[in-house]
Structure 1
Amino acid sequence: MTVHKLILDDAFEEALYTLIAIHCNLEDYRLAYLLNKHLGITLSRKASDIDYNNGQVSYSIFEWEDHKQLVTWSLVSNICKTEELRETDYKSLFDNQEKITKIFQLLPEHKTVNYFLKIDSAFSFSKENYILDSILKIPQIATAYSLDSSELKSKDNLIFN
């Protein structure tokens, strides 16, 4: 019996997108408003958040599809904080449960980033420097920079659809 080997290197092309990391202390809706105002886009909150770990961890997402330029803009939170109650081991007169806050990241290799702006394009997107300059002009944003998606370990978390 002969063995057939299939090579799929060319079958799956790497998705073309620009990823911008944003550091700020703003709420997600406020950041989306400021990006809409300064970039001339129309980000709006999606009906459902991105859920991981069977719905235990969720990240807010804002999205806008530019049908003229065939570009999809996504603003997603990198940080999710959850609280859970844990029974204490010691005896006490008072409440024997304590709240524990757990912090999860969408991209764990970038723990300090608050938000990611992902710009999906069917073609190469050449306005990256203009977008970064416009974002950095917003006074409430501490810093923003572009990330190389080929170096990400958990790039599968950036597949939103």
Structure 2
Amino acid sequence: MAIHKIQINDFISDDYELIAIHSSLDDYKLAYAINKILDTRLIKNESNIEIAIPEGKSAFSNYIFDDEKSDVQWSLIENKTTIVTSKKKVAQLFDQVDITVFLLPEYKKADYLLKIENIDYDFDEEDMIEKLLSIKNVTTAYTIETTNLKSKNNLIF
């Protein structure tokens, strides 16, 4: 009898674009601006993206849009969040420590990530980045090369 092994790399798909966005806007304001400029319908996802770290569990808010017409999935995810932990078993007022956790630690300066899945060959990322840069309070936006990304498993959700 043959043994078949399934590895995590079998499920990782590189048919998505990932755009880093630097912005001082709140997540809901950025989602609204993206909806307006890119004609999407990003809505708040009730379940956060969770990543476990030794200090505790971190939760990243995200907005999703499933474009059924073109079969494209859009996700706007915050790249950093803060968790509050205590150094001692019984926490007192000043024993708490804020720890910043990043979804993609390689891109610590990026505030948000825009993940676009199931894109086709005529996808124009330069035009999209140009539109994102026209949003007020978006400092910069750029494409992230996903092939050499160390923490790409954090993008599986």
Shorter-normalised TM-score: what interval?
0.7 to 0.9
Identity, in percent, stands at 34
Query: Where does residue 96 of structure 2 map in the other structure?
Result: 99
Consecutive unaligned residues of structure 1, counting only runs of 5 or more, are: 88-94
Query: Where does residue 153 of structure 1 map in the other structure?
Result: 150
Kindly tell me: are residues 157 and 96 of structure 1, through their superposed partners in 2, closer, same or farther at Cα, counting changes over 3 Å?
closer
Query: Where does residue 134 of structure 1 map in the other structure?
Result: 131
Q: Distance in 2 between the 1:5 and 1:47 partners?
A: 36
Query: Where does residue 65 of structure 1 map in the other structure?
Result: 66
TM-score normalised by length of structure 1: 0.82
Kindly tell me: are residues 4 and 47 of structure 1, through their superposed partners in 2, closer, same or farther at Cα, counting changes over 3 Å?
closer
Q: Distance in 2 between the 1:125 and 1:155 partners?
A: 24
Query: Where does residue 76 of structure 1 map in the other structure?
Result: 77
SS across alignment from 2:29 = helix
SS across alignment from 2:147 = helix
Mapping 1:6-21, distance limit 5 Å: 14-21=13-20
Q: Check conservation: 1:16, 1:124, Cα contact below 8 A.
A: no
SS across alignment from 1:102 = strand
**Higher normalized helix content (fraction of residues):** 2
Larger radius of gyration: 1
Kindly tell me: are residues 71 and 125 of structure 1, through their superposed partners in 2, closer, same or farther at Cα, counting changes over 3 Å?
farther
Kindly tell me: are residues 98 and 131 of structure 1, through their superposed partners in 2, closer, same or farther at Cα, counting changes over 3 Å?
same
User: Residue 125 of structure 1: CA displacement?
Assistant: 5.1
SS across alignment from 1:97 = helix
Q: Distance in 1 between the 2:85 and 2:4 partners?
A: 50
Kindly tell me: are residues 40 and 85 of structure 1, through their superposed partners in 2, closer, same or farther at Cα, counting changes over 3 Å?
same
Query: Where does residue 90 of structure 1 map in the other structure?
Result: none
Kindly tell me: are residues 32 and 79 of structure 1, through their superposed partners in 2, closer, same or farther at Cα, counting changes over 3 Å?
same
Letter in 1 for 2:57: Q
Letter in 2 for 1:119: I
User: Residue 86 of structure 1: CA displacement?
Assistant: 3.6
SS across alignment from 1:151 = coil
Q: Distance in 2 between the 1:53 and 1:71 partners?
A: 29
Once the two structures are superposed, residues 53-103 of structure 1 have per-residue CA deviations (whole angstroms, 9 ceiling, x without a partner) of: 18710000100011111100000010010122345xxxxxxx673331100
Aligned positions, number: 148
